[in-house]
Amino acid sequence: MAETVKLLGTKGSPYSHRAEVALRLKEVNFEFLHEDLAHKSDMLLRYNPIHKKIPVLVHEEKSIVESLIVVEYVHEAFNGYAILPSDPYERAMARFWARYIDEKVIPAFWMSCWTDGEMQKGFIGQAKEALTILESQLKGKKFFGGDSIGFVDLAAGMVAFWFGILQEVAGISLLNEEDYPVLCRWADDYCSVEAVKESLLDRKLLVAHFASKKEKIFATKAPVYD
C-alpha cells in the first residue's frame, strides 16, 4: 500500500519549509496541502488542536507537529538521506544549534526588522551577536551539516532565504556580505540545493507578500506567513 503522507503548510512559512525540505531529501511522496492561515481548515484544527499551527505532518493518519520535531520524525521514520548525524555528540550539537537559531537568531532578527528607535538598536545588537556566533559554527565547512545539508541547515533555512527578504522590506541591512561573508556564501549554497530549490517560493512573490503585510506586522510584531 502506498504511504499516505500529507504536509499541511504554506510556502511562505520558513517552519513549513523545514518539513518540506526534509521530506524532499528523503524522497518521500507526499501531498502538500496549502493552508489559508486566515481561515484554518478543519483538517488543521483536527490534527493540531493544541497549537493550531503549521506545519503538520500526517503519516498514516497520525499527526506530528512542531517543525523541528517533524524533521526529526522524518529522519527516523523514512530510510535514505541522513538528516541528523549518527554520532550522539554530533547530534546533541545539531539539536543545540537548531534551538539556538529558534531562540536567539530568529527572534532578534525579526524584532530588528519591525521595531524602531532605541528598541531597534537593542535588537540589532542582539541579532548581530547571534549571527556572528552562528556564522562561527560553519568553521570552514560548506554546510552546518558538513558536505551536505543537515538538521541545522534546515533549521537555518529562514536565515538563508527569508532574512534577505525581510530586511529588504524593513529597509535595514543586517545580514550582508561585508559583515557575514561566510554566512552569505552558505545561504547561496543552501538555496542551490535541489530539495531546497523545489521548496522555495519565488523571491519576488515573497517580497511582495511581506511588503503588503508590512504595516500589520509592524503593529503586531506577529508573523504572517501565508
Partner 1 sequence: MAEDELKLLGMWASPFVIRVRMMLEEKGLSYEYIEQDLFNKSELLLKHNPIHKKVPVLIHGDRDICESLVILQYIDEKWSGTGPPVLPVDPYDRAIARFWALYIDDKLLPSFIGFMKAATEEAKAEKIADTQTALELLEGAFQKCSAGKDFFGGDSTGYLDVTLGSHLAWIKTTEIMSGAKLLDETKVPLLVDWAKRFITLDCAKKTLPSVDRVEKYARELQVTRWKVATAN
Of 105-164, binders to partner 1 (CB under 8 A) are 133
Measure Cα distances from 79 to 2, 25, 65, 180 in Å: 15, 10, 20, 35
Of 9-48, binders to partner 1 (CB under 8 A) are none
Nearest Cα neighbor of 143 from 167, 160, 161, 166 is: 160
**Residue 171 near partner 1 by CB under 8 A:** no
State the nearest-atom distance from the C-beta of 131 to partner 1, in Å. Answer: 13
Q: How far apart are CA 187 and CA 90, in angstroms?
A: 22
**Are residues 131 and 183 in contact, defined by beta-carbon separation less than 8 angstroms?**
yes
Q: How far apart are CA 117 and CA 95, in angstroms?
A: 34
Amino acid identity at 194: E
State the nearest-atom distance from the C-beta of 196 to partner 1, in Å. Answer: 23
Residue 9 host element (H or E): strand 5-9
Binder among 28, 44, 64, 160 for partner 1 (CB under 8 A): 64
**Residue 92 near partner 1 by CB under 8 A:** yes
**Residue 70 near partner 1 by CB under 8 A:** yes
Amino acid identity at 59: H
**Of 30-38, 91-99, 184-192, 210-218, which part binds partner 1 (CB under 8 A)?**
91-99
**Are residues 88 and 141 in contact, defined by beta-carbon separation less than 8 angstroms?**
no
**Residue 61 near partner 1 by CB under 8 A:** no
**Residue 222 near partner 1 by CB under 8 A:** no
**Of 73-81, 141-149, 175-183, 207-215, which part binds partner 1 (CB under 8 A)?**
73-81
Q: How far apart are CA 62 and CA 88, in angstroms?
A: 27
106 vs 196 by CB, closer to partner 1: 106
State the nearest-atom distance from the C-beta of 70 to partner 1, in Å. Answer: 8
Identify the bridge partners of residue 111 per DSSP, sorted by sequence position.
Answer: none
Contact residues toward partner 1 (CB under 8 A) are 50, 59, 62, 64-66, 69-70, 72-73, 76-77, 88-89, 91-92, 95-96, 99-100, 133
